[in-house]
Amino acid sequence: MVALSIHEALVKNDVKSLSKQEITKTLEVPPQQSMGDYAFPCFVLAKTLKKAPNQIANDLSANMESGLIERVEAVGPYVNVYLDKTFTGKAIVEEILNEREAYGSPSLGNGEQITIDLSSPNIAKPFSMGHLRSTVIGNALANIMQKCGYTPVKINHLGDWGTQFGKLITAYKQWGEEEKVKAEPIKELLALYIHFHEEAEVNPELEVQGRYWFKQLEDGNQEALALWKWFREVSLVDFQRIYQLLGVEFDSFQGEAFYNDKMEPVVNELEEKHLLSESDGAMVVGLDEFNHPPCLIKKSDGATLYATRDLAAALYRKKEYSFAKALYVVGGEQSLHFKQVFEVLKKMGYTWAADMHHISFGMMLKDGKKMSTRKGKIVLLEEVLKEAIELATENIESRNHELENKEEVAKSVGVGAVIFHDLKNYRQNDIEFSLESMLTFEGETGPYIQYTYARACSILRKGMNQVEIVEQSYQAFQDDKAWTVLSLLMKFEEVITHAYHQFDPSQIAKYTIDLAQAFNKYYATVRILEEDNQLGSRLQLVEATTIVLKEGLRLLGLKAPEKM
């Protein structure tokens, strides 16, 4: 909107080389409010205009009054822009109230598909904190991509194939009990797997059997396949409970096993393109020119590997979805793996490998140490979510006994706290896990924002019952605190655009914190419901804030209850 005004002013000055989008990108926010609301850096025009930036700033500022702009000032190479608060404020709230949840949508995509490989836990193993991070970050990125005009395709690339299933089948056949597995699938399957390794130390015959059963599985033996299928199914039931709590859905559960019959063509293609070489009996693609170790394609016994499956998956996804981008939301430990996969694709001649991105993230730490995934930690993750919901319930009960849908709200708040705690940090950073800090209703937390939203909704409900005011003045927007809220509302699209380009949901999380804080300051100092000729515009500001807060939370994967 501001860009529109500045664009208009530039055109008036015969500058046509910058599009509105380019202007949005170049606009800066001055370090102090006294220096204006925006600053336009004139170096970007120096080349086309063949003039010094300071000169351009001077020329432009002489003739830049337009639309929302109150006045401009040339300071060095910058044109500082002071917006007309009343006029701009009115335009912003009107735009938000018209567009509702569509407000702030950058038109970057045109429906093109973006595949997002996320969550991807390993079956018969606990859902780790890393998988939680991948799920939450990937889901937010999918929402952001969609908001920007793309069609996200969320793929849960389940770890459902590999030698470990031969071991699991062996263990189950020896010690397994159907009823136990049915009751607590992952816990029991994990116990069997651990038991296998303990026994194998004294009885090496077990390893032989494990390999035998994996071979049976790969060769399509009915008994082996039936067991594998069952392990997969019951594991998914466990995972689904977590996904349901988190409110995350997927477009595909095509895991590693799905690519079993799609790897041979890849290996053949590598062969035809003379990219395969032998190393200790194994087949590899050398990556010396990238300064990386070779990518392992086939083991000496003919078995394919994790990387082979990812190559097959990449080719499949390109064909199936003709993706504009392919994202892999996976922990930083796998960064070499993805570099290798992308490099192999490049060597195969696929230029679209440049559209593939490993969206890596840091670890979840407990007391400064990596949280272990061993022994029954699936219980832990579900417990974390349940405990969060419980704490939220207590908190809500201490505030509002009458709330009708207490359970639902507690779920939104508890789960929201866990999600927000993750997303407010830049993804590459390690996060210290702390249920307490997640669940305070103050500070930079999900519940704080949800509570601010509910408070704003409550003001609106009260405001609806006020006498209708015919005469309406937008003088209310001259107020400093109101203007801070308005200028944040105005920046929503810009924030989303940055989050999109940098694959960084934390920018939206920080923005929602800023907006909630600004709104609370406004609420604390201004009598919003005062019946004067500005009541209408103040209520519009409150409503616009609820729309943007709710949409911001939605992008992050949080619900916004109207009453708390």
Contact positions vs ligand ARG (CB under 6 A): 117, 120-122, 157, 159, 310, 313, 328, 330
Residue 360 — φ and ψ, nearest 5°? -90, 160
Burial (CB count within 10 angstroms: exposed 0-12, middle 13-18, buried 19+), residue 180: middle
Between 337 and 498, whose beta carbon lies closer to ligand ARG? 337
Between 121 and 185, whose beta carbon lies closer to ligand ARG? 121
Between 87 and 316, whose beta carbon lies closer to ligand ARG? 316
Shortest distance (Å) from residue 418 CB to ligand ARG: 20
Shortest distance (Å) from residue 49 CB to ligand ARG: 48
Burial (CB count within 10 angstroms: exposed 0-12, middle 13-18, buried 19+), residue 136: buried
Shortest distance (Å) from residue 353 CB to ligand ARG: 14
Between 120 and 452, whose beta carbon lies closer to ligand ARG? 120
Shortest distance (Å) from residue 247 CB to ligand ARG: 21
Between 235 and 487, whose beta carbon lies closer to ligand ARG? 235
Shortest distance (Å) from residue 348 CB to ligand ARG: 17
State the Cα–Cα distance between residues 334 and 247, nearest whole angstrom: 26
Shortest distance (Å) from residue 227 CB to ligand ARG: 20
Closest alpha carbon to 241 in 373, 130, 419, 385: 385
Q: Which residues of 403-426 are buried (b: 16+ CB within 10 A; e: fewer)?
A: beebeebbbbbbbbbbbbbbbbbb
Shortest distance (Å) from residue 305 CB to ligand ARG: 11
According to DSSP, residue 124 is labeled T
Cα–Cα distance list, 174 to 138, 167, 169, 205, 466 (Å):
39, 11, 9, 13, 74
Instruction: Evaluate whether 362 touches 428 at the Cβ level (below 8 Å).
Output: yes
β-strands 356-359, 325-329 pairing: parallel
Helix-then-strand count for the chain, H and E: 22, 13
Instruction: Evaluate whether 551 touches 560 at the Cβ level (below 8 Å).
Output: no
Residue with tokens 């770890």: 159
Shortest distance (Å) from residue 490 CB to ligand ARG: 38
Between 122 and 484, whose beta carbon lies closer to ligand ARG? 122
Question: How many CA atoms lie less than 13 Å away from 311 in the CB half-sphere?
Answer: 29
Residue with tokens 């006994």: 401
Between 7 and 157, whose beta carbon lies closer to ligand ARG? 157
State the Cα–Cα distance between residues 119 and 361, nearest whole angstrom: 12
Shortest distance (Å) from residue 111 CB to ligand ARG: 24
Between 333 and 394, whose beta carbon lies closer to ligand ARG? 333
Residue with tokens 């919901």: 389
The residue sitting closest to ligand ARG, measured at its beta carbon, is: 159
Closest alpha carbon to 129 in 361, 359, 315: 361
Single-letter amino acid code for the residue at 437: S
- The tokens for 517 are 């804080």
Closest alpha carbon to 142 in 466, 336, 359: 359
Strand ranges for 139-178 from DSSP E: 151-155
Shortest distance (Å) from residue 197 CB to ligand ARG: 19
State the Cα–Cα distance between residues 311 and 307, nearest whole angstrom: 6
Between 120 and 507, whose beta carbon lies closer to ligand ARG? 120
Between 154 and 510, whose beta carbon lies closer to ligand ARG? 154
Between 330 and 549, whose beta carbon lies closer to ligand ARG? 330
Q: Is 432 helix (H, G, I), strand (E, B) or coil?
A: strand
Between 80 and 235, whose beta carbon lies closer to ligand ARG? 235
- The tokens for 298 are 């086939």
Shortest distance (Å) from residue 374 CB to ligand ARG: 14
DSSP notation for 292-308: EEEEEEE-TTS-B-HHH
Shortest distance (Å) from residue 218 CB to ligand ARG: 19
